[in-house]
Amino acid sequence: MDHSRVPEPGAGWPLHGRDEELARLTRALTEERCKGLVVFGQAGVGKSRLAEEILAVAERSGFRTGRAVASTAAGTVPLGAIAHLLPTGVDLSDPVRGFAAVADALRGVSGDGSRGGSDERRSGSGSAARGGPGSSGPRSRPRPGRDRRAPTAVFVDDIHLLDATSAMLLRQLMDAGVITLIATIRTGEEPNEAVEALTSGEAIHHAELGVFDLRRTEGLLEKVLGGPVGSTTVRDLHEVSGGNVLFLRELVRGALENGALTSDGEVWEARTETWEEGTGAAPATRTGTHTAAQRTAPWTTLRLSELIRVKVDAVAGPGRDALELLACCGALPLAALETAAPQHVLTDLERDGLIRFGTDGRRTRVSLAHPLYEEVLRNAVPALRHRAIQLEQAARIEEFGARRRGDALRIATWRLDATGKADPALLLRAAHLAHYAHDHPRTLTFLNALPESHHDAGTRLVQGEAYFLTGSWDLADAVLAQAGETARDEAERIAITVTRTTNLLVSNAPLDEILEVNEAARTAASFEPVRELLLVNEGFIRLASGQPVAGLKLLELLEPEAYQALDRRMWLCAAAVRTLALVLVGRVGDAVEWAERAHAAHVLTDEESRPAHPAVQQGTMVLALAEGGRLAEAAALGESVSSELARHSPLLRIFPALLNARTQWLAGHPATARRMYAELAALARRERQAKLLRIALSGLAACAAVLGDPEAAGNALTELDSMAGGSPGYLSVGEERLGEAWLSASGGHRSKARKVLLEAAEAARSTGHITSEGLLLTDVARLGGAADVAARLAEIAQRCDGALASVRARLAAALAAGEPEQLMEASEELEALGAHLPAAEAAAAAARVWLRRGERRRATAASVRSGTVAETHCEGARTPLLETVGAAASLTDREREIADLAAAGEQSKEIAAELALSVRTVDNHLQKAYAKLGIATRRELAARLGHLGQAGPGRTA
């Protein structure tokens, strides 16, 4: 990986996210009354970077410039920080003559009153006097009441460290109109009186910078790395950096150098494993917990560690004791900290940005202010002291009765980490708490430390589920098989069977093997309700294997409340799946109602009985809302679900990620969908989810093709072709061929694209995936085959109660009939649903018809509507229907198809073979196209049509 694209720390990163502050301060720079600009903020938030940018703007505007950096060392010497800005030999013991000499030097005036170059160099500016030859910008007009020579801007970094003599001199120069001060001050510092006077007053403009929020962090990362960054990676980097730009820069640098941050050509992703891959075991850390700092240990750099160490090493005595206590034990109640440090010490630590206070119910909790402080402090604590701190805190909580819910979790963590062992009853309680919190690596840490004699079917079930959710499928199956042999009752047998068959599904085991495990449990069941519940589980298995009709028939058994009472975990798992099944067979309204009911039941379920986070139920709702034509609502919900599940098992995140990407594709937002499909592909590779990877690669290829990037589309399809065969299963039979179709279409091969889509739609129809069939047939209509699919889309609209299906049918009918009024109505309906790209295409098609009829005014109106929708929402999409507006609008469908192929470099003989026409017919159509477009060659044809390009490497369109 070439890391040269990322600036070295000394080079600085691009200024980002400070546009408002930059604009306000640079406007103030040229105001008559402005004497100075001061930027406040914590260390590392980008104060100096913003001030440097302001200084650069001043220089381009004609200011002479100078720089100085205040420091503790320089502050011990009068004028030490700004000595290089003063003329040689100046005598400040004579205030009048000394001040005049300094003022002349800063103005660039020599001792005899002429302009001088030596003082210019002395000022710190790297160029000749501003406004002369070589100037980087126009000189500003001298301000009334000021010296009419070029103004001077002086930048002093960390001005709170400036000595009093320097501060007094600078203030005099400001008041005399000789300089405009640009300064930075670290929040929380107490400057001396002279510096305070220097930076206060109505003529001094202030700006305070805070840390970056998640959105700004994402924008900066994309600018620095030169491409999209995965949402999970953005969240991790934001959390660990705390929004501090300096920390973020070092984390990115460390991750690149260690190979933890890589790009697959589509999206940047960071590796943040918290357990050893393939074992499911938690790593041997000193605390046994998995904090943000530990998740990103491979990202840190020596420089970053030193920056933090300097800050924390400045604290000694009780304050240091408090910091080490938090580093070893994590967040603690305020009462626990007060035994290590008095209140005024803790107040000082908070003021210095080292700790922060929060609330936990009615108790005040204290934590380190930054995740990275924990790593540096923890590594500096001697092992014996670390052990003593943890055992002391464990004993303290036990002395108070360990009554709070999380106490067992903390005590077990500290005792296990300090001594390698803990009371079995404590380990069991901690394991269940971690399990309920969906902290699967820590669940395994506790259960793997549990003596064998204390394991039973219940502990093996929890252990097996944790192995499953951390991707250790073979270990999960072995543990669950062992649990099944010792199941104590029917409810336990159901739970074990459901978890084991789900694990087998995810690990890509053969369908027959999965059904065999389920059937064996059904046979062993002693009464009918249990056997029926395992039939419901078979419905889930069949749905996940691409059989929605058969699956839904069995999932309908979920209705009786008796089953919910028998095994609520099983009921909740199957409830999420039933939502999907209802959507896939076209019962969209029922799916929305069922998803709402299932989510309400999940939220009300006792936390200990939940199989997963309640957001899982909302994840399946995303599909129902999208197919119901509520695309904006679906997208918003999908983003919320992804955020909720961001810290849970990747397996819980992967399915909502697919639904989010698909929603954006339906909405006609190909750039957003491309990024989401790229993230899904990266996640599917890591989690070894071949079925979902096939869908992700196809979606990625389709988006890239629509965006005019056939090379990226071809690369995605090449990877897809290299994968072993097999049905993609899950929710989108047939949709795995979208990429192939749209790449063909982007190269002008619309007949081939339609053939691919028709074959895919037939596959979807044969398995009952009616919503997938509708999506695929709609794309056939969009690519010139409306007459072939309009009738079937009308049938689907009759069977599918989602609003999207009915509008698609009307769009296809209007395209087939060539009725512009109907096309405009469809365009408005599609836009109202949030399907922006089809809406723009429908208006473009209407414009084309009106243009051919000679109704230019109506054609222009439709064309404007199409362009407005496309430019506002469609992110640069390029499709055949959109390109019918303009010069090529008068071509017939056949003329346009042949012209596209010719523009792509196809010879007449090849075009004739592909379209089953004679060469003579092809040439006749080409001549008609030439005549309509006023051209004579294929080169001109390619230029006029704005051809999308050839297929990518390894593919032929």
Sheet holding 332-333: strands in order across? 332-333, 363-368, 355-360
Task: Using alpha carbons, list the distances in angstroms from residue 417 to 275, 383, 644.
Answer: 16, 11, 29
Sorted by where each begins, the domain ranges of the chain are 18-209, 214-270, 292-456, 665-748, 768-817, 818-886, 896-957
Question: What's the CATH number of domain 292-456, 3.40.640.10, 1.10.10.10, 1.10.4160.10, 3.60.21.10?
Answer: 1.10.10.10
Most confident of 224-228, 310-314, 501-505, 628-632: 628-632
Whether the CB-CB separation of 552 and 543 falls below 8 Å is answered with yes
CA dist 122 and 117 (Å) reads 9
**SS3 of the chain: helix, strand, coil, percent, to 5:** 65, 5, 30
Quote the pTM value.
0.78
* Mean pLDDT in residue range 102-113: 67
The answer to whether residue 97 scores a pLDDT higher than 90 is no
Beta bridge partners of 37: 182, 205
Whether the CB-CB separation of 267 and 229 falls below 8 Å is answered with yes
CA dist 682 and 719 (Å) reads 13
Task: Using alpha carbons, list the distances in angstroms from residue 424 to 408, 416, 421, 451, 765.
Answer: 12, 11, 9, 7, 55
* Residue count (the chain): 957
Label residues 365-403 b or e (16+ Cβ within 10 Å = b): bbbbbbbbbbbbbbeebeeeebbebbbbbbebbeeeebe
Considering only residues 760 and 924, tell me which one the structure prediction assigns the higher pLDDT. 760
Most confident of 29-38, 64-73, 184-193, 703-712: 703-712
Which amino acid type is present at position 89? G
440: which 2 tokens?
A: 């699967």
DSSP alpha helix (H) spans, 352-382:
371-380
Q: What is the pLDDT of residue 122?
A: 38
Confidence of residue 854 (pLDDT cuts 50, 70, 90): confident
| Residue 381 CA, distance from chain mean position | 35
Whether the CB-CB separation of 508 and 724 falls below 8 Å is answered with no
Q: What is the pLDDT of residue 631?
A: 96
Q: What is the pLDDT of residues 3-39, one digit of tens each?
A: 445 544 334 688 899 999 999 999 998 888 899 999 9
Whether the CB-CB separation of 719 and 684 falls below 8 Å is answered with no
Tell me if domain 292-456 and domain 896-957 are identical in fold: yes
* DSSP 3-state of 437: coil
For the chain, count helices (H), then strands (E).
46, 10
Label residues 117-148 b or e (16+ Cβ within 10 Å = b): eebbebbbbeeebbeeeeeeeebbeebeeebe
Most confident of 228-237, 554-563, 743-752: 743-752
Concatenated DSSP letters of 548-585: HHHHHHHHGGG-SHHHHHH-HHHHHHHHHHHHHHHHHT
Whether the CB-CB separation of 850 and 858 falls below 8 Å is answered with yes
CA dist 129 and 110 (Å) reads 13
Closest CA to 573 of 506, 512, 637: 506
941: which 2 tokens?
A: 């044809």
Question: SS in 3 state form for 317-340?
Answer: CHHHHHHHHHHHHCCEEHHHHHCC
Q: What is the pLDDT of residue 278?
A: 33
Q: What is the pLDDT of residues 397-442, one digit of tens each?
A: 888 877 777 888 999 999 999 999 999 999 999 999 998 888 889 9
Confidence of residue 614 (pLDDT cuts 50, 70, 90): confident
CATH of domain 18-209: 3.40.50.300
Beta bridge partners of 368: 355
How do 363-368 and 355-360 pair as beta strands? antiparallel
Q: What is the pLDDT of residue 610?
A: 67
End-to-end CA distance of the chain: 31
Topology (CATH level 3) of domain 896-957 = Arc Repressor Mutant, subunit A (1.10.10)
CA dist 493 and 458 (Å) reads 10
Which amino acid type is present at position 530? V
The answer to whether residue 128 scores a pLDDT higher than 80 is no
* DSSP 3-state of 950: coil
Closest CA to 743 of 527, 465, 956: 956
Closest CA to 899 of 952, 848, 938: 938
CA dist 861 and 720 (Å) reads 42
474: which 2 tokens?
A: 């073979």
* Mean pLDDT in residue range 443-461: 94
